[in-house]
């Protein structure tokens, strides 16, 4: 399911990612980003639809907290199912003609009456209609929107010891369209340009582990989903053209869904810091 996105990591876990000790004074930062699609841990959950996101972060010493919002999550939509019933009535008529060709004049009146009654009884049985009602039920599913909105709340503490950086955080991801939320604990440790981050779902056994490495304008990430969607693993290569514009190539390395193997997604992002 949805968890802390790359944009949040950049905004809140920067001390662990690049090895900078936390600042000693309080500060507030914000940024806004537009991306060609919503890329999340190897999944193009934006389906190629541009997404807008923004964050607001407060930090003081090693402590931080903030808000991250985004559009374009097409995996999160509110669906409703409507059942439609139709009835069809079929009437079948069957008539058997019964005719008295001759009546003996010598028959007693009571005999004639009995004969007529018998004929009428036969006609009532063989002449009539049968109604058969057939009911067919079908269902249709409609979506309440084309893409989902999301807002995330997060807090944490980051620091460094003997050249190693660390970050311990908590994030709650909220999806108004489905009236649902997900929470994760986030643990990160780094040394120099290398880092390892584990996203641990609070309510299930799902985890996502990301191994990162930075080399100048390039950054590389290998990530693995465990007990998650398709148990997919991905390898991402990002290039920062400048401080605002970056390009990411994300490739599926392995997946329980074999149709996703070797699937590659390109996403371009432009960010402004305030």
* Both structure tokens of 66: 């903030």
Output DSSP code: residue 231.
Answer: G
Residue whose tokens read 């028959």: 107
The rounded distance, in Å, linking the Cα atoms of 134 and 234 is: 52
Locate the domains of the chain by residue range.
6-78+147-273, 81-140
Contacts of 198 (CB under 8 A, 6+ apart): 186, 187, 188, 207, 208, 209, 210
The rounded distance, in Å, linking the Cα atoms of 9 and 65 is: 12
Q: Tell me phi and psi for residue 126, to 5 degrees.
A: -90, -10
> Per residue of the chain (274 residues), what is the pLDDT tens digit?
444 444 444 433 333 333 334 445 799 999 999 999 999 999 998 888 899 999 999 999 999 999 999 987 766 544 333 444 445 554 444 444 444 334 444 444 445 555 445 545 545 545 454 455 555 554 433 333 344 789 999 999 999 999 999 999 999 999 988 888 999 999 999 999 999 999 999 999 999 999 999 999 999 999 999 998 789 999 999 999 999 999 999 999 998 887 655 689 999 999 999 8
- The structure's pTM equals 0.68
Sign of CA dihedral 254, 257, 263, 268: negative
Residue whose tokens read 């779902």: 201
Number of residues in the chain: 274
> Which CATH number, 3.40.50.300, 2.40.160.40, 3.40.50.2300, 3.40.50.150, labels domain 6-78+147-273?
2.40.160.40
Q: Are 76 and 177 in contact (CB under 8 A)?
A: yes
């Amino acid at each position: 399911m949805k968890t802390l996105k790359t944009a949040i990591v950049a905004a809140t876990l920067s001390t662990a990612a690049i090895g900078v000790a936390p600042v000693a004074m309080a500060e507030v930062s914000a940024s806004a980003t537009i991306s060609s699609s919503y890329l999340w841990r190897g999944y193009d959950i934006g389906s190629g639809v541009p997404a807008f996101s923004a964050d607001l972060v407060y930090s003081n010493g090693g402590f931080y907290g903030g808000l991250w919002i985004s559009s374009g999550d097409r995996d999160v939509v509110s669906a409703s199912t409507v059942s439609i019933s139709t009835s069809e009535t079929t009437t079948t008529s069957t008539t058997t003609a019964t005719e008295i060709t001759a009546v003996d004049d010598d028959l007693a009146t009571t005999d004639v009456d009995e004969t007529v009654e018998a004929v009428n009884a036969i006609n009532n049985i063989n002449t009539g209609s049968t109604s058969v009602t057939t009911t067919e039920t079908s269902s249709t599913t409609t979506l309440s929107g084309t893409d989902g909105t999301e807002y995330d709340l997060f807090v944490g503490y980051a620091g460094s010891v003997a050249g190693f950086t660390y970050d311990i955080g908590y994030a709650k991801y909220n999806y108004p369209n489905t009236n649902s939320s997900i929470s994760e604990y986030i643990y990160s440790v780094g040394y120099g340009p290398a880092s390892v981050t584990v996203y641990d779902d609070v309510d299930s056994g799902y985890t996502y582990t990301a191994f990162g490495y930075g080399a100048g304008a390039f950054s590389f990430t290998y990530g693995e989903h465990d007990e998650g969607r398709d148990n997919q693993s991905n390898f991402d290569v990002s290039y920062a053209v400048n401080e605002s514009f970056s390009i990411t190539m994300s490739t599926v390395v392995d997946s329980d869904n074999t149709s996703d193997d070797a699937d590659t997604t390109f996403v371009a992002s432009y960010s402004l810091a305030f």
